[in-house]
Structure 1
């Protein structure tokens, strides 16, 4: 049995100390048990990869800086205000262009260190029109944030509706607490609010238009035998995925293994074929599905037709649908990791991808995003790994291409996984991740 990816096994040996201005606030010690935080979505400069553009002090906040962090799930840097903060500090985040009537969820991950036990944090918005005129201020809901010495990232989010005439949202955050707290934030995430859920349908997906696949459009050739169109089983009698093509969660029928970072379990029973499509189910109890291809190859092309949606009320604890190629060696980050579809919640309106460099050098990852893609609907997600580049396709149209600094230089063979990841533990918002087909192709020449 393979020891599955870093979402279940990674640890961080030590957290970073925050160095702000001339002073250093040592706010982390000991060993990190697991990475925390959120896989971010869409906003400008979300993880401060190169600079602090868009981030800064606001009103009562102390002047901060970009600081390396060690235990966030995707971010290597955060914007940090030092212990020089007064009571109830604020900071501003990257701005967002909006239109009147649009509903947005503005969110970030935060970590607080200091002498108190718990504080409250909230998102805020100042609205402006096209002429720069101020239209008003709105506060989001307060969220409890634990105060910890070691890195522990907490999600803070608020839903907002743009007023008449609004063209820009100045997004800020406020920490309700005493003076002397060190306050960090990263992974800003702006996406349409109000995404709901419904019961999953029981009918197979419609036939795929040939022209909507990258394989057809770019002549990828004949799918390899490890491909699966999931044309077996039925709704009345669900089938175990074909074990000649897939390794199961827990490596056997009826088995389970630890979930992402120890959150919940990945269980074989949560991945079943219903006569034309695979359904991967994430339950309220935190049990979810996982599949790993039996085929590894160095360089290749993969295409998966998929959709995702919540099936219960939104409680803020959402599953993450993910399509990954993972190193056969299981060495991470040495072996790289190409997440060519990775989202923070089922059924979002923006597709995300995170392409991790071998050894996380000279940088951790490249990030791509394409909005206007309704992930509750069927789409074809293609991925190409060659000596020259990494490319992603949605419905046969290229949406990312990376080659700088040899991000494509994973040293060994990789295999496809399909994951519905649990980032929170129990009391999850139920969801499904459904796959019409998962096809794999060789790169020749």
Structure 2
């Protein structure tokens, strides 16, 4: 019996060696490197005087707060709430009675005048101080192809709430990932002098990721997981929004300091760089 076992053992030993030597370990798939145009394809440098350029900007108006329980009434083309001078756009929130609201402000939109699918989106801004202020630079879907919020998505390039001074936020919202169900994808960073110096805020939006930067330092990374629109509705057109809210579900969490008004949200420029290799 021992004699016939020997060749079997040898056979097994010989057969193992080529199997081990031919194991192929796949290389990690390198993420695609995207390129953007060197000069903006759409921009507002605010190098003029008066109201915002009507060829680039429209207005959302009213006092509904869009579900956020904000307290301001957004006005249209009202110099007391929005104007351009000295190379800077200023949105002013004021404490005043207006159309049933106790405060006024402005919400600028580029819908129908600047709608984009992918690109590098950059703003240089200075946020106001004071409890109850809630400035934002963000993007919403132009066509709402997947349904109402949050199904069609939201991209927040800059948010700041006055009770948490100098802490800036970058976020996205989708049907699968949003604050209403506790799954929001967000990142924040405390910076110095957010209200006394201009800082740059940027989002790189590509078919495979959305990345956020503050002063060119990456803060946020959201990947396309390939799970469909509920996780990634970011394959449709979006447009800019610039606004200064008062109070609301987030901005008003610690009350409102009326001594902070009038409050000023200032923007030095808004720029879009085209994605060259989608």
Q: TM-score of the superposition, structure 1-length normalised?
A: 0.44
Alpha-carbon distance in 2 for matches of 1:334, 1:357: 5
What SS does the corresponding residue of 1:383 show, helix, strand or coil?
strand
Figure out how many residues of one structure are paired with residues of the other and give that number: 212
What SS does the corresponding residue of 1:284 show, helix, strand or coil?
strand
Distance 1:346 1:240, change over 3 A: farther
1:441 matched to 2:261? The reply is no
The offset of 1:411, in angstroms, is 4.1
Find the counterpart in structure 1 of residue 136 from structure 2: 322
What SS does the corresponding residue of 1:309 show, helix, strand or coil?
coil
Distance 1:219 1:396, change over 3 A: farther
Structure 2: which 5+ runs fail to align?
1-34, 97-102
What SS does the corresponding residue of 2:44 show, helix, strand or coil?
coil
Find the counterpart in structure 1 of residue 52 from structure 2: 241
What SS does the corresponding residue of 2:158 show, helix, strand or coil?
strand
Larger radius of gyration: 2
Find the counterpart in structure 2 of residue 75 from structure 1: none
Alpha-carbon distance in 1 for matches of 2:224, 2:235: 16
Distance 1:299 1:408, change over 3 A: farther
1:28-427 to 2 correspondences below 5 Å: 220-224=37-41, 226-233=42-49, 239-250=50-61, 258-260=64-66, 261=69, 263-268=71-76, 269=78, 270-285=81-96, 286-293=103-110, 294-310=113-129, 314=130, 316=131, 318-330=132-144, 331-345=148-162, 348-358=165-175, 360=177, 364-376=183-195, 377-403=197-223, 405=225, 407-424=231-248
Alpha-carbon distance in 2 for matches of 1:245, 1:420: 19
Alpha-carbon distance in 2 for matches of 1:346, 1:412: 34
What SS does the corresponding residue of 1:223 show, helix, strand or coil?
coil
Structure 1: which 5+ runs fail to align?
1-217, 234-238, 251-255
Alpha-carbon distance in 2 for matches of 1:345, 1:409: 30
Asked whether the 8 Å contact 1:297–1:413 carries over to 2, the reply is yes
Distance 1:346 1:435, change over 3 A: farther
Asked whether the 8 Å contact 2:118–2:274 carries over to 1, the reply is yes
Report which of the two has the higher share of helix.
2
The offset of 1:367, in angstroms, is 1.3
Q: Deviations over 1:359-381 (max 9, x none)?
A: 54897421101123431110011
Alpha-carbon distance in 1 for matches of 2:246, 2:119: 28
Alpha-carbon distance in 1 for matches of 2:275, 2:140: 17
1:20-35 to 2 correspondences below 5 Å: none
